Amino acid sequence: AGSRLVWLKDRQLLSAVKAQSRINRQVEFFILMRIVNAWLLGVKAERVNRHFTKKLETKRKQLNGVQTLFKTFAQQLEQGLGGIEDDEETRITNIKPMPRKGGAQRLIKRSARSEYIDPGLQKGKGTVSLPDIRQKQVWEEERTSRRER
């Protein structure tokens, strides 16, 4: 009976040691997981930070390019306006009302030509024309009408 008691005691001790060993491994695993997850979070944060910093720098460069474009456009416009002289071709005379869409009658006639022009903006020497923005709209209308077919 004494040997059986020793055997049960040894078996109980072995079970306790194995259980404690499993618990120790789990604790070590959870500690390592916390360390790895903290490191992974730092890596992801750094990657996101680099991505958006690069994106912000790209936007800044683009904005600087647009600002430079506007500055050069303004300088060209200033230079173009400085060279305008009061020529016979650019002088507008013979104001005559002409019917216009919407009821407005503010068109005037040039002396050298028989065409009627709008007195608001006129093209003369040294002026720079901008692209026709309505042309894009026509293209978009054609594209949408093709889709509907």
**Do 8 and 78 share a domain, yes or no?**
yes
Residue 145 lies in a domain: no
Confidence (pLDDT) at 1: 75
**Do 93 and 79 share a domain, yes or no?**
no
Average pLDDT, rounded, for the chain: 78
Asked if residues 80 and 127 have their Cβ atoms less than 8 Å apart, the reply is: yes
Residue 60 lies in a domain: yes
Asked if residues 116 and 109 have their Cβ atoms less than 8 Å apart, the reply is: yes
Mean pLDDT of 6-25: 96
Closest by alpha carbon to 94, among 106, 110, 118, 112? 110
**Do 21 and 77 share a domain, yes or no?**
yes
**Residue scoring higher pLDDT (106 or 46):** 46
Asked if pLDDT for residue 43 goes beyond 50, the answer is yes
Confidence (pLDDT) at 65: 96
Asked if pLDDT for residue 139 goes beyond 50, the answer is yes
Mean pLDDT of 20-29: 98
**Do 24 and 44 share a domain, yes or no?**
yes
Asked if pLDDT for residue 17 goes beyond 80, the answer is yes
Residue 131 lies in a domain: no
Residue 18 lies in a domain: yes
Mean pLDDT of 27-37: 98
**Do 94 and 116 share a domain, yes or no?**
yes
* Total tally of structural domains belonging to the chain: 2
Under the banding of pLDDT at 50, 70 and 90, the label for residue 142 is: low
Asked if pLDDT for residue 140 goes beyond 90, the answer is no
Enclosing domain of residue 120: 89-124
CA–CA separation, 41 and 104 (whole Å): 67
Under the banding of pLDDT at 50, 70 and 90, the label for residue 88 is: very low
Asked if pLDDT for residue 119 goes beyond 80, the answer is no
CA–CA separation, 49 and 32 (whole Å): 26
**Residue scoring higher pLDDT (115 or 80):** 80
